Structure 1
Amino acid sequence: MIMISAFIEPSAAVPYSDQATTILDLMMKGGVIMIPIVLLSLVTFYIFIERMAYIKRTTAIEKGLIPSVLGDIKSGNSNNAVLRARNNQASVGRILESGLEKIGKPQVEIERNLETITNLEITKMEKNTGYLGIIAGIAPMLGFIGTISGVIKIFYNISLADNISIGIIAGGLYQKMICSGAGLIVGVLAYAAYHYIQMRIDRYTIRLQESLIEFLKAF
């Protein structure tokens, strides 16, 4: 009974508030190298959100746009077809407009103009996505640098100390490993964001090519 009462005695348990560690505490324990890692994470989220908003806005292909434009062309109302394409705020409208402006020219020239504007629109969608690839490579490296520099400092202090405490060593190591963990997380997020954006662009490119093939059948 004495042993049981000792286990359930409130004073014997360590308060949860003393044990709890917040994410901010962990980041602070990671050291100075956590500053650029956190900044890279913010840049990653900004680029991803901004690019996804732009892609969503410019990749919408209005249902019935191509048939309406083709109907205007067949009826000889090319000016109305140009206005219809120009009023479309998506990239497909600008691409169609570039082709409609070449009506009367050889089909090869129309196709070349469509290809040029299409490549330009795709390049606009990919703007700043290269930074995500850079972050995916740099963030883990920064984390390893923070960890290695911390480990070097720990072992240097051990070499100067008379008494070696396993608790002190373990505490110092876990704090420095935070850098590696944070760097890897940011790197994975940036890598996933980059490839997801590229996947969305590739998917749109296929839809766009199908629409342009339908458009070129009129010439």
Structure 2
Amino acid sequence: MHTFLAAAEKASALSKISDFYDKGGIIMYVLTFCSILTLAVVVYKALDLGKSRVMPDDLKKDIDSAANHGDEAAFSRVTQQSSAGNSVLARLTQVVVQRGDHSGAKIRDAVQAKAHEEIVKLQGGIGVLDVVIVVAPMLGLLGTASGITTVFDGMSSLGDIKMSIMAAGVAEALSTTIAGLAVAVPAVIGHSYFNRRIETYASQLEVVVGNLVSTVSDDKEVAS
């Protein structure tokens, strides 16, 4: 009996979803595509902005040891890890290591140029969320306006009609607005979170790599 009731509830839920799509028309399918796109971008950015891909702890600790404590063994490990370029920090460190014989100003300029390039890469995909944030609510309103227009067109041919029927028609038309907002809200949350995370990484990278640049510049001046 319990199994039968569960199956009936599941069938009822699927029927409601199907009805919801039917009420929204083709715009509901466009909004579904937007929701899938949003989910794909969120998953991609969550992986892309993982700590191991941007600022791995082991490399950061070695840079801190080399810069703040003059640990030559740590600097050697930094050089080895930077050559692989498996993270944003490693690639920025690689710029410092490769230009170790240049002046501090030239090293900083090269690091800033590379850092700008890396930040742009980190922001890749977030533009899709920008589009969804703007387009999804507008599509919802478009579907609602279209639905309400259809409702009033139908009423004009029916003459005197109860308000309850009109309200039901407007409620159906509002389904696309609900769907549009449901798609846009997660996109806004993801957009805000990922932008904040990138800003945090950018400030941390500036400090860590800046310390390394200062150490390399100071060592070169002492040697000269």
Distance 1:26 1:109, change over 3 A: same
Q: Which has the larger radius of gyration?
A: 1
Q: Which residue of structure 2 lines up, in the alignment, with residue 59 of structure 1?
A: 54
The match for 1:98 among 95, 98, 102 is: 95
d(CA) in 2 for partners of 1:214 and 1:17? 60
The match for 1:164 among 161, 167, 175 is: 161
Q: Is the 8 A contact 2:155 2:161 kept in 1?
A: yes
* Aligned-pair CA distance for 1:186: 1.1
Give the CA RMSD over aligned residues: 2.8
Distance 1:157 1:212, change over 3 A: same
Work out the number of aligned pairs and report it.
204
Q: Is the 8 A contact 2:63 2:74 kept in 1?
A: no
Q: Is the 8 A contact 1:78 1:100 kept in 2?
A: no
The match for 2:86 among 89, 103, 119 is: 89
Distance 1:60 1:129, change over 3 A: same
More moved, 79-88 vs 164-173: 79-88
* Aligned-pair CA distance for 1:61: 2.9
Question: Any stretches of 5+ residues in structure 1 without a counterpart?
Answer: 1-15
Q: Which residue of structure 1 lines up, in the alignment, with residue 21 of structure 2?
A: 27
More moved, 100-109 vs 169-178: 169-178
Aligned pairs (5 A) from 1:1-219? 22-56=16-50, 57-63=52-58, 64-67=61-64, 70=67, 75=72, 81-87=78-84, 89-218=86-215, 219=217
Distance 1:132 1:77, change over 3 A: closer
Which amino acid in 2 is paired with 1:124?
K
d(CA) in 2 for partners of 1:53 and 1:17? 34
Cα deviations by residue, 1:22-80 (Å, 9 ceiling, x for unpaired): 33432332222111111111111111110110110422332322045559x87599876
Question: Any stretches of 5+ residues in structure 2 without a counterpart?
Answer: 1-8, 218-224
Q: Alignment partner of 1:33: what SS?
A: helix
* Aligned-pair CA distance for 1:116: 1.1
Alignment identity in percent?
22
